[in-house]
Amino acid sequence: DQQVKQNSPSLSVQEGRISILNCDYTNSMFDYFLWYKKYPAEGPTFLISISSIKDKNEDGRFTVFLNKSAKHLSLHIVPSQPGDSAVYFCAASEWYTGNQFYFGTGTSLTVIP
């Protein structure tokens, strides 16, 4: 039973354009969300996070938006670069549980030069 869902297995975007990766969750108790980036043959690496007290968090080219009422978050990458090509995982947790995160199935992003 997937509590965190990424319904788009793959996404292709032209270099310089915006990439939008989406994530939905079912557990209304989740209050902390992260995005991870994974290159082939490597472990996932932390990219950006957001807590439920915010609806937006920005870090350079990466912005995460949270819509609590819709139980939806998205990651925007602007402008997209070929080095952004990777698998992106969305993760969610209840803050008080510490680090017990639930992950989505991932979206494979390809940025075309």
Residue ranges in contact with another protein by CB under 8 A: 2, 6, 32, 34, 36, 41-46, 49, 89, 91, 93, 95, 98-106
- For another protein, the closer of residues 12 and 39 by Cβ is 39
For residues 7-38, b (16+ Cβ closer than 10 Å) or e, as one string?
eeeebebeeeeebbbbbbbeeeebbbbbbbbb
Q: How far is the CB of 44 from another protein (least distance, A)?
A: 5
Q: How far is the CB of 112 from another protein (least distance, A)?
A: 23
- For another protein, the closer of residues 77 and 91 by Cβ is 91
- For another protein, the closer of residues 33 and 77 by Cβ is 33
Structure tokens belonging to residue 41: 């043959």
Taking CA atoms, 51 is separated from 32, 67, 68, 109, 110, in Å, by: 4, 11, 10, 24, 28
- For another protein, the closer of residues 12 and 45 by Cβ is 45
Q: How far is the CB of 84 from another protein (least distance, A)?
A: 19
